[in-house]
Amino acid sequence: MLVEAILIAVWAGICSLDDVGPQMLRRPLLTGTVAGIIMGDMVQGLAISATLELMWMGIGNVGAYSAPDIIAGSIIGVALGIASNGGIAAGIALAVPVSILCQQLLIIWRSFASFLNVWASKSIVNGNYSGLTKVHYFSTPIWFLIRAIPCFMAVYFGSALVNSVLEAVPESILTGMGVASKLIPAVGICILLLMLLKGRMWFFFLLGFMLTTYLKLPIIPITFIALAFAVLYDMAFTSGSRAKPEEEKETQYSKKNNEEEEYDL
């Protein structure tokens, strides 16, 4: 089990680095399937991860809101679901509390890591680009370990460790974190509104609000409707930007002709 725990930890660390980068590996269907391959049962890993993908399809970080950690939840849920021979039920039962527990851990780290922005800003203002490099060297290993260590401990010591950690956390702390996690989305929405209301994007926000509130559409149809409007908006903007140079050329050509006619007179 030691080799599997190390490989799971390495995979969780890679996914953690991807989470602050291109975000191409963070979905449960991929993270859980690879965890199933490491645990030696790809079929069971795919079944558990597909169920988690359906359950967490609409989850994502919006603004300052930190969603439940679907990366650690999926990896640990699949790994322990296979190790305990509990199947999909055991995987989901372990994935949900682990994702919430790791969510609180990420909130604490992101709050603490806010000083990195000050460090980076001072380095840029002072022209100290080596200091900016040190910011990345300092934060990258922490981002790797912040999911690698919990996943290693959960897989190596089993589900008993996860349950003992959840029982050891005081109820007041979990309640406070839950209240904070409900307040943070309001801050994230306010930040998004500040960006949306500055330009012409407020129309798309109003459209999404109408589709969600009055038509009660789920997230997937709204996504396709938004995609269609985005394509139309891009086509109109592109055609408008192409028309401007042609109009400028015609204006310059007409001015040139007028100057030649005045010269002939």
The three-point CA angle 256-262-265 to 5° equals 145
Q: Which residue has the higher pLDDT, 164 or 29?
A: 29
CB 110 within 8 A of CB 95: no
pLDDT band at 169 (very low <50, low <70, confident <90, very high): low
How many Å apart are CA 123 and CA 86, to the nearest integer? 51
Average pLDDT over all residues of the chain: 77
Contacts of 195 (CB under 8 A, 6+ apart): 201
pLDDT of residue 240: 65
Residue 81 phi, psi (nearest 5): -65, -35
pLDDT of residue 265: 46
Q: Is the pLDDT of residue 55 over 80?
A: no
Q: What is the pLDDT of residues 70-123, one digit of tens each?
A: 888 889 888 888 887 877 777 877 787 788 788 878 878 877 777 787 888 888
Q: Is the pLDDT of residue 30 over 80?
A: yes
For the chain, the straight-line distance linking the first and the last C-alpha, in angstroms and rounded, comes to 96
pTM above 0.75, yes or no: no
Per-domain residue ranges of the chain = 1-196, 198-259
pLDDT band at 10 (very low <50, low <70, confident <90, very high): very high
pLDDT of residue 155: 84
Contacts of 56 (CB under 8 A, 6+ apart): 28, 68, 70, 73, 74, 99
